């Protein structure tokens, strides 16, 4: 009987040891998997993405044909009832878009909202502030980990509205300088004010990529993007350092709208949202662009 008990105890010990070894192997495997990038379990995902990009390309091409056939570039300042804006309706569907901020002026649409608010290294640049921090505050409330930088060179933003203190109250950064395509001083209300390029601003802050670039700079957006959206065939040309661009466009000339649309598409950006500005339409319209493909 004693020998039998010893054999049973020995078997239990061996079995326990084998279970322990297998448990350690499983734990090591799970730890290894958790540190590896997740691979898509859907083999059709890449194919589906390619199909959507081709569909977007066809929409852009169809719009370009309409522009040529109707000589839209030469419509000049004729934007009665917003007929120029109507040509540039959304050409890309973002199923996870959310609007941040109140209804009306100040709020903006964000594509891939859930992914955005979960981003750890979130960096948002806001060009143009004046006395409305609806966008910045909404970003902070939705994603408090985001590093927010707001740029505005106008004098009243400090002397009258004290927006540096307003933003500082919730951790956003205010810069009393403008962002232009060439970084040269500009004249605002009779005063020459300093500016820098977006690249210079990002280098100063130690950033290489932005989560969102929001632009509302009262007609200066045309010159800014004309220089930032460079010819990709040039070796020195760099793609925009963000995948999400939110712009309030202020109408001056149809040719400018056509040019911006073409260049944004060449840089891989599709329009996922268009919203008439409730205060200034058809003079001003809100556009939201998301990068559809890498360039």
Cα(209)–Cα(121) distance, integer angstroms: 10
Cα(275)–Cα(246) distance, integer angstroms: 11
Interhelix angle 254-266/221-228, rounded to 10 degrees, is: 30
Domain segments of the chain as ranges: 81-291
- Torsional class of 102: left (φ above 0), alpha (ψ -120 to 50), beta (otherwise): beta
Instruction: Find the distance separating the first CA and the last CA of the chain, reported in whole Å.
Output: 79
**pTM, 2 dp:** 0.84
Cα(124)–Cα(211) distance, integer angstroms: 6
Q: 190: Cβ–Cβ under 8 A, 6 or more apart, which residues?
A: none
Return per-residue pLDDT of the chain as tens, 295 residues: 544 444 544 444 444 444 444 444 444 443 443 333 344 456 566 888 899 999 999 999 999 999 999 999 999 999 999 999 999 999 999 989 999 988 778 889 999 999 999 999 999 999 999 999 999 999 999 999 999 999 999 999 999 999 999 999 999 999 999 999 999 999 998 889 999 999 999 999 999 999 999 999 999 999 999 999 999 999 999 999 999 999 999 999 999 999 999 999 999 999 999 999 989 999 999 999 999 999 8
Place of tokens 């962002």: 179
Reported as half-sphere exposure (CB side, CA atoms, 13 A), residue 22 has a value of 6
Helix (H) or strand (E) holding 25: helix 2-35
Please check whether residue 115 is in contact with residue 132, taking contact to mean a CB–CB distance below 8 angstroms: no
The superfamily CATH assigns to domain 81-291 is: Vaccinia Virus protein VP39 (3.40.50.150)
């Amino acid at each position: 009987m004693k020998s039998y008990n010893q054999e049973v105890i020995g078997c239990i010990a061996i079995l326990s040891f084998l279970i322990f070894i297998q448990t350690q192997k499983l734990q090591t495997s799970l730890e290894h998997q958790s540190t590896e990038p997740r691979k898509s379990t859907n083999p059709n995902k890449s194919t589906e993405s390619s199909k959507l990009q081709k569909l977007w390309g066809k929409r852009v091409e169809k719009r370009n044909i309409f522009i040529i056939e109707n000589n839209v570039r030469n419509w000049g300042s004729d934007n009665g009832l917003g007929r120029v804006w109507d040509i540039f309706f959304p050409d890309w569907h973002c199923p996870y878009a959310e609007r941040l901020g109140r209804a009306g002026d100040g709020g903006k649409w964000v594509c891939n909202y859930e992914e955005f608010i979960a981003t750890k290294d979130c960096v948002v640049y806001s060009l143009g502030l004046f006395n409305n921090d609806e966008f910045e505050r909404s970003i902070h409330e939705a994603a408090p980990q985001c590093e927010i930088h707001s740029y505005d060179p106008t004098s009243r933003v400090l002397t009258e509205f004290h927006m540096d203190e307003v933003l500082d109250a919730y951790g956003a950064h205010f810069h009393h300088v403008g962002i232009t395509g060439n970084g040269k001083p500009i004249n605002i209300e009779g005063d020459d004010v300093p500016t820098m390029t977006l690249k210079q601003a990002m280098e100063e802050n130690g950033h290489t990529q932005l989560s969102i670039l929001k632009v509302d700079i009262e007609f200066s957006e045309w010159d800014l993007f004309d220089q930032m959206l460079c010819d990709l065939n040039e070796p020195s040309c760099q793609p925009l350092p963000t995948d999400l661009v939110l712009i309030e466009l202020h109408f001056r000339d149809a040719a400018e709208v056509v040019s911006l649309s073409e260049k944004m598409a060449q840089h891989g950006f599709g329009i996922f949202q268009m919203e008439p500005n409730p205060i200034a339409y058809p003079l001003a319209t809100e556009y939201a662009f998301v990068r559809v493909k890498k360039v």
